[in-house]
Structure 1
């Protein structure tokens, strides 16, 4: 099990290679119509991980896992399967270490992300229809070549790296009452929720998944690691068919509620973030704002609400 010292150690390990992203509190909205109660606007605090190196929070976990490898293992290079953002994070880690890297992507990865990865000049392979297919190929490749495989969410070192966001947020805005976190495989919310609850047991953590990929929602409902028969969302970085026992366990213990939002709701939220705040984010990064705009938090008074804007991009406005 992860301890608070694991998150603090991860922060120390990666600090020279990461940005301390700001927490921004938007006020005086020009467009209040998007909120369900215009007379009681949410008190929002946005952690801008879209400004993180490589464009998303994923750089944190990838770097922490890569730095933990022994020299012999890292010398063979790094590989992973990704919806795009984790791939960029692993590429960044490989450059810091000066080793080779290979990224496996599913064919449902948005074209701009594929192009972004290929422009890095690294080996990129498109395999399978969804992330789970690409992941099997990446693990096979790691076994065959000796490359170090870095899982995007089911790795305690990755989870500890992502949890460093909670340490920063609760220093930057110590009186947050609620955290709203998008969920893909569960690495981000596993780390953030676990670290936040260790620091402030009273804090409320709400996860957000797409209606077309309710992987953790179904897992917690059935108390098992659920495997979805299919996924149907344009937010492909939030769309594995299966999570892992590690993530389900941490989320079950530390997350108060998981809510679902549609692609259209995420798209509307992404467009509002651009119009109102000038933030260009991927569809997945708008999930938390979408849940707030749709009145889905399920909390009468959420208080001061921290939302992780987890990645940059333009697909949210398509």
Structure 2
């Protein structure tokens, strides 16, 4: 591709960001060597969202970076209003880039009289005017099927794997803190060429879990515990204590989304964990930054940037993981 054609195509590629994670959006733009789109996202005196796109997007291929992280309802509403604004400004295509997809825990009716919020949010994003979605490590992979528009589901696996391979730690075992994470943990155990173990976890309340027993050998092993997100930190902390009781040596944790709500930072800081490896899908809180070197943040900006460019050029996204 000659330079003139590339410049013309990049003129039609625009990336914007809401207030949820502008630092990640800037890093994506740096990776692609383009400028972040100019938009104002503020508030009216009564707290309603005020938004204006300050540049022409007519006929453009627009990517809007906005994880629906805390404050969740603010971030989600910003996303919907921003999409509506871009649609009314005649953008040719709008891709909602959701590094973290909130409201994903309720993906089915597991008891009577409860909503399926993961489906509701999918409907809202589609109705607002998004043409496609680019997201990362969904809490449940079947959420892709809740959308009636194309969904590109990325995995943080290549970014995490590169880091764990560099550790060059011997006598490793990959551990999943619950049965639901077996498939994710298997990817890491296969990639690292090590065995896998499972922590049996039972949920005894909305924010409380109980660790039962461990399936697999962890005695005298260095452990990498893998999960898609860390919310309250209770499951990870409890699992770390049990692993230590069973003779595990150093314990590392890898999780894509650092939700870290409530007393999560305190629980994780006190737990026998050497390092917690996370991504910048969600901005790391000041409290977590103040803990020192226990939290290691890996950037997914390159992964998202490469996916955005492939979507823009109508190329395969799945080939990023081959």
TM-score (normalised: structure 2): 0.32
Relative to its length, the structure with more helix (as a share) is 1
Higher relative contact order (CA 8 A, sep 6+): 1
